[in-house]
Amino acid sequence: MVFKRALDILEDDFAVELTLSIDEIVNEEECTPDDSDDECKVPTDVVYIDEGQTEINECAYFDRDDVSVLVIPSSVCHIHSRAFINYYGSYRVNISNPNYSSSDGILYNKDKSRLLRVPIKVGFDAYSTASAVKVIGRYAFQGLIHLISIDIGENVERIEDFAFSQNLDLEELHISSNVAYIGHQLFIGCDNLQIIYCDIVDLSNIMIESDAFDSLDLQKVKLIVPTSVVEKYKQHSVWGKFPLIIANTNMLENKPEPDIPTHISAYTHYGGGGNGWGTFHGYQSVSGHWRSGHWRNGHWVSGHYVRSHGRWR
């Protein structure tokens, strides 16, 4: 799951879609302390970990709000999942590091298949995922500020323990259909979560820890699921804990009719208050298979037909 600014921040209350193609993920080069390109220059309040250090231990940067960038050298081969609890800065990994990488201040494993840590001070209202990340790691989104909604990408297969903990402003989460594992206590401190969209149809293919949702007030969280499996969710040992399980009547569970154009169809448009951006919803034929989603600023973003906050997304 990878994120990139697709639009400038318009106002503090506007959601900004973040997208990155798989080609950009593969080809992007990280900055190193020796880079001279202006785009790679780092702020003065940057911390360089010494070359030769191999580990970043638990709570090594706990509660650090005085660092804007942490530069991780090529020698680091192990980072504890709790190394950056309440750490506010972003991450920059030496491109020679064989184990870790970074992009836009976000920390990943080397091939970006595992999202390890998103900076707390991201300043965005919404995240939308791209196609590289398969695993959202432990504490990956811990403590983010003003994060309203998260869309889990289609390629994500695992959401590990405490992934979204302490996101007080989080109101909405969208779980894609390919997620096969959901870990322990995902939502500790997410007191304002209101809606979980889950697109999983075959519940036999997913493993959910029994306490995954125990920290939520389930009486006030709506679980929106595919229409065809509402009863299966209600009977499930974990999903069934939600008293408000509602059919997602806007979700397309089957492919569209064959005569729908391959580029875009059945679209809905909404604008950004005169700011010149819009989204068109429809379908795209990918390798002979139909995929629902939307166009934003000329780019196809995989997505789903769901209604949220009075608008299509």
Per-residue pLDDT of the chain (313 residues; tens, 9 = 90+): 333 322 222 222 222 223 333 233 333 444 444 443 444 444 458 999 999 999 999 999 999 989 999 999 999 999 999 999 999 899 999 999 999 999 888 999 999 999 999 888 755 545 555 568 999 999 999 998 888 888 888 889 999 999 999 998 899 999 999 999 999 999 999 999 999 999 999 999 899 999 999 999 999 999 999 999 999 999 999 999 999 999 998 776 655 544 444 444 333 333 333 333 334 445 444 434 444 555 444 445 554 333 333 333 3
Amino acid 188: pLDDT: 95
Amino acid 148: pLDDT: 86
Amino acid 31: pLDDT: 46
Report strand pairing: 69-72 vs 46-48: parallel
Amino acid 193: pLDDT: 95
Amino acid 91: pLDDT: 94
Q: Are the beta carbons of 35 and 136 closer than 8 angstroms?
A: no
> Would you state the structure tokens that stand for residue 241, as one six-digit string?
């804990």
Amino acid 2: pLDDT: 35
Amino acid 56: pLDDT: 97
Q: Are the beta carbons of 109 and 133 closer than 8 angstroms?
A: no
Amino acid 171: pLDDT: 93
> Would you state the structure tokens that stand for residue 271, as one six-digit string?
């604008």
Distances (CA, A) of 18 to 63, 80, 215, 246: 27, 27, 28, 28
Amino acid 292: pLDDT: 53
Phi/psi region, residue 167 (left: phi>0; alpha: psi -120 to 50; beta: rest), is: beta
Amino acid 131: pLDDT: 60
Amino acid 270: pLDDT: 36
| Residue in 262, 267, 303 with CA at minimum distance from that of residue 282 | 267
Report strand pairing: 106-109 vs 114-117: antiparallel
